Amino acid sequence: MHPFPPPHHGPRLPIPEISIAITLLGVIILLSKKPRFSFDIMFALFLTSLGFLHLGHLFGRWGGPVYFDFFHLTQILIGPLFFLYIKDISGKPFQKRDIWHLVPFLIYVSCFLILQIGEETEDKDRIYETFFHTRDSILKYISLFSLASYSVYSLWYVNRIRKDETSDLAYPIDVLDLRWTFGVLFLFFFIVSYHIVWGYIRSYYGHEVLPFLPPIKGFDVLTFTFVISIFGVRQNLLYSAWLLGHESIRKAAPKKKYKKSGLTESKLNEYAASIQKYMENQKPYRDGDFSLDDLSSALGKPRSHLTQSLSEVLETNFYQFVNEYRVREIISEMEANRSGKINLLHLALQNGFNSKSTFNDSFKRVTGKSPSDYLKEKSLKNES
């Protein structure tokens, strides 16, 4: 059998740099969102752990294999963080008991750092090679097992929780469509299978590889990073907009979005009453960072159920609902003021508004007048 010619090696594509740019862009988009949900933070952490793998290649070139090995420890985190993201976006935010998912990573990091302390010995080098450095290290197999098992578990969890009426996935919301995770899982298993087949053929033919089965090392991680970043960030943006009642999303989503939610009219009314009671008693709207996540946590109800109650019972969305309470509070303080000196911007900031424009728009929507016009009318009434 004639040997195949060696593959042509052209200019190297800067795969780590491109991958880092993709993950960094995704993290910036998610962390700069206003408001930012807990599932945004979880997916940002997931992308960060993915980006650290690419950083390992860069630091490995500059600082040696130890840096490469250190940054690659985050591969143990990819599976758990992906599951915790799926869990969070489906209505079950991170809790203290979820920290056990991170225990293997913490143990591995601790062992790595311990091996870096003190003088090098033959035993330490052998342990390091076995657990961290070699191509067939234990770290590699633990990471593959973790990613595979957590991927399957995540998809099983999505299917199971759809049957749970207390979850955000208990009914078909078109903007919370996690079917893309099946594509990610297929891509992952395709990449792993390809590497197994390619490795077997390479071992059989020596250093020559069949021309119709080129090596994909580097391109596989780049493709995986690109696909999961695009779909994940898109999912977060769409679902956040839907939860907050953005009109463009609501018009695009089919009217069947609340079908089969398991919430009766009486339950929706009960939720609405609970929301109003909490707002009136606790006045959380005075905090400029008050979010739907905070409301969900305080009442112990899923985000989507609160959104449904606000929409169907109170005929509003979270933004408008909270800002209306802020405006009412400001009006109450204006009416109680007898000195005649009122700083509108100070009142707005004190009651939870983070910008003058939002305050003006909300005030006019509630009262039909601008804050300054309302204040002028109040002054005229007082003079008369």
pLDDT by residue (tens digit) across 120-177? 788 888 888 888 876 667 888 888 888 888 888 888 887 777 666 555 554 445 556 6
In tens, the pLDDT along 62-96 reads 888 888 888 889 989 999 999 999 888 877 788 88
The pLDDT value recorded for residue 211 is 59
Q: Mean of the pLDDT values across residues 48-52?
A: 92
Other Cβ atoms less than 10 A from the Cβ of 379: the count is 12
DSSP label of 337: -
What band does 51 get if pLDDT is binned at 50, 70 and 90?
A: very high
Q: Which structural domain, as residue segments, surrounds residue 210?
A: 15-248
The pLDDT value recorded for residue 256 is 45
Whether the Cβ atoms of residue 51 and residue 24 lie closer than 8 Å to each other: yes
Q: Is the pLDDT of residue 3 over 50?
A: no
Asked if 123 and 243 sit in the same domain, the reply is: yes
Question: What is the C-alpha separation between 221 and 194, in angstroms, rounded?
Answer: 13
Q: In this structure, which amino acid lies at residue 82?
A: F
Whether the Cβ atoms of residue 309 and residue 275 lie closer than 8 Å to each other: yes
Other Cβ atoms less than 10 A from the Cβ of 227: the count is 15
More confident site: 179 or 66: 66
The pLDDT value recorded for residue 41 is 93
Residue that terminates a domain, selected from 213, 248, 283: 248
Other Cβ atoms less than 10 A from the Cβ of 111: the count is 14
Asked if 84 and 173 sit in the same domain, the reply is: yes
Residue that terminates a domain, selected from 248, 276, 296: 248
Asked if 264 and 368 sit in the same domain, the reply is: yes
Asked if 178 and 263 sit in the same domain, the reply is: no
Helices (H), 64-172: 65-71, 75-89, 103-116, 122-128, 138-161
The pLDDT value recorded for residue 304 is 79
Whether the Cβ atoms of residue 91 and residue 109 lie closer than 8 Å to each other: no
Asked if 102 and 139 sit in the same domain, the reply is: yes
The pLDDT value recorded for residue 206 is 58
Q: Is the pLDDT of residue 262 over 80?
A: no
Between the ranges 70-74, 92-96, 99-103, 182-186, where is the mean pLDDT highest? 99-103
Asked if 238 and 338 sit in the same domain, the reply is: no
Asked if 233 and 120 sit in the same domain, the reply is: yes
Residue that terminates a domain, selected from 219, 248, 277: 248
Q: Is residue 7 part of a domain?
A: no
CATH of the domain at 221: 1.20.1070
Question: What is the C-alpha separation between 346 and 359, in angstroms, rounded?
Answer: 11
Q: Mean of the pLDDT values across residues 6-26?
A: 75
Backbone φ and ψ of 216, nearest 5°:
-120, 10
* Angle in degrees, CA 306, 310, 314, rounded to 5: 150
**Residue 262's closest CA among 224, 290, 228, 304?**
304
Question: What is the C-alpha separation between 72 and 52, in angstroms, rounded?
Answer: 7
Q: Mean of the pLDDT values across residues 316-330?
A: 90
Asked if 190 and 330 sit in the same domain, the reply is: no
Asked if 48 and 167 sit in the same domain, the reply is: yes
Q: Is residue 6 part of a domain?
A: no
CATH of the domain at 274: 1.10.10.60
In tens, the pLDDT along 295-315 reads 988 998 888 788 888 888 888
Asked if 221 and 262 sit in the same domain, the reply is: no
Count of domains observed in the chain: 2
**Residue 308's closest CA among 259, 350, 380?**
259
The pLDDT value recorded for residue 52 is 92
